[in-house]
Structure 1
Amino acid sequence: MIPTTDICDANEDKIAAGTLRVVAPIFKSWGKSTQFMGQAHTLKVFEDNSLVRSALEKDGRGKVLVVDGGGSTRCALVGGNLGLLADKNNWAGIVVYGCVRDTLELNSCQVGIRALAAHPMKSQKRGVGHENIDVALDFTVVRPGDWVYVDEDGVLISDTNLI
């Protein structure tokens, strides 16, 4: 993968136009993959990870699960079992605007994961949320099918594939 810094340098016009967006540097890293990219599969949930599980049960080849958890730091939306499920179903990565748990287990997974923080409490299981809609990572909009590029330097969202 091309480093996010190089993507930014080569696409200043797209950043100015808003078709390439740089996400605020608010995420911490888990999982073995420190670099990943793919098309966004989006979820909007709040303190309920039922849709996260159902999404990760599907084939994720070439996809990044982008979860708008409303920035909640009151519970975790992804844990060790979901990390293993993401590995099993070939997800390129997961970006959570919320928390994760079971961090030692997540760090043994191949999938790359970004989230705001770790939290020991599990989420609710009510089946509430929305799939494949526009979501937000802090103040950055992510649409279903956008391209997500993640490495040690940050998270980028692009309307088109830049690689």
Structure 2
Amino acid sequence: MRTVVVTDTPRTPIEKVDKLAEYGVATVHEALGRDGLLGPDLRPIQDGARIGGTAVTALCWPGDNLMIHAAVEQCRTGDVLVVTTTSPSRDGLFGELFATALQHRGVRGLVINTGVRDVADLRAMNFPVWSAAVSAQGTVKATAGAVNVPVVISGQTIRPGDAILADDDGVMVVSREDVDRGLDKSQARLDKEEATRKAFRAGELGLDRYGLRTKLAELGVEYLTADEYGR
């Protein structure tokens, strides 16, 4: 690993990220072919938060938050800090003091696949966090890592400046190059869902709207009366 801090990474235009975030993680994830989700382990410490922002990445050693300190300096308004470690860790790398510094810089939230602490304070501050654990276990500041380099969480590569979306359904990344496609596909999906919603309200069944009766027949599913099933 090259121990660097990259200072001038390009970012996705924030107005596009804001629009993408309005659709929500589930819609964008489906619209982009079910790609980009950072897995079910990253859970919000609060309910109802929905954010979008541009990624600033920090790669730390387990139990060591030195590079988060270095990353704070590189953050600016509209960013989301994304933190991972070189091998699995659940220590509380992040707490209220870090959040205070990030809020001052206009950072919209944290995504971290280790642990956080001071969660009551973080909630009171309205600083959104998605983490893999909550842990009071503290850390050291002893080993160099990297800031604003590509990192991998749950098989998904996050590059600095990519769009990060997070809400109650989870966290996903959309690459800078894919944001425009994400906007178009998400709006198309939203329109399709609204038409389906209207149909369901009018009493249409998913079996008919999605053509699933044929699928059931192809799979050999039989419709039987209770008497027929009991024989």
TM-score between the two structures when normalised by the length of structure 1: 0.85
- Which residue does 1:150 correspond to in 2? 166
User: Structure 1: which 5+ residue stretches go unaligned?
Assistant: none
The one-letter code of the counterpart of 2:89 is: S
1:73-118 CA-to-partner distances (Å, cap 9, x unmatched) read 1x21101111122212110111011000111111112221111111
Alignment of 1:78-117 (within 5 A): 78-117=94-133
Whole-angstrom CA distance in 1 between matches of 2:141 and 2:46: 24
Whole-angstrom CA distance in 2 between matches of 1:33 and 1:143: 26
The one-letter code of the counterpart of 1:29 is: P
Residues 57, 71 of structure 2: 8 Å contact kept: no
Whole-angstrom CA distance in 2 between matches of 1:58 and 1:135: 16
The one-letter code of the counterpart of 2:166 is: V
The one-letter code of the counterpart of 2:134 is: A
| Pairing partner for 1:132 from 128, 137, 148 | 148
The one-letter code of the counterpart of 2:111 is: V
Q: Which moved more, 1:148-157 or 1:27-36?
A: 27-36
Matched, 1:4 2:25: yes
Q: Give the deviation of 1:53 after TM superposition.
A: 2.3
Count of aligned residue pairs for this structure pair? 156
Aligned residues with identical type, % of pairs: 23
After superposition, the Cα gap between the structure-2 partners of 1:110 and 1:60, relative to the gap in structure 1 and judged at 3 Å, is farther
Q: Give the deviation of 1:129 after TM superposition.
A: 1.0
Q: Give the deviation of 1:52 after TM superposition.
A: 0.9
Residues 32, 107 of structure 1: 8 Å contact kept: no
- Which residue does 2:38 correspond to in 1? 23
Whole-angstrom CA distance in 1 between matches of 2:74 and 2:128: 17
After superposition, the Cα gap between the structure-2 partners of 1:50 and 1:32, relative to the gap in structure 1 and judged at 3 Å, is farther
1:40-59 CA-to-partner distances (Å, cap 9, x unmatched) read 11111012112212322454
User: Structure 2: which 5+ residue stretches go unaligned?
Assistant: 1-21, 184-231
TM-score between the two structures when normalised by the length of structure 2: 0.62
Relative contact order: is structure 1 or structure 2 higher (C-alpha 8 Å, sep ≥ 6)?
1
Residues 43, 67 of structure 1: 8 Å contact kept: yes
Query: Going by fraction, where is helix more abundant, 1 or 2?
Result: 2
Query: Going by fraction, where is strand more abundant, 1 or 2?
Result: 1
Residues 58, 89 of structure 1: 8 Å contact kept: no
Q: Could you list the runs of 4 or more consecutive aligned residues of structure 1 that deviate by over 4 angstroms after TM superposition?
A: none
Over alpha carbons, which structure has the higher Rg? 2
Matched, 1:72 2:84: no
After superposition, the Cα gap between the structure-2 partners of 1:141 and 1:98, relative to the gap in structure 1 and judged at 3 Å, is same
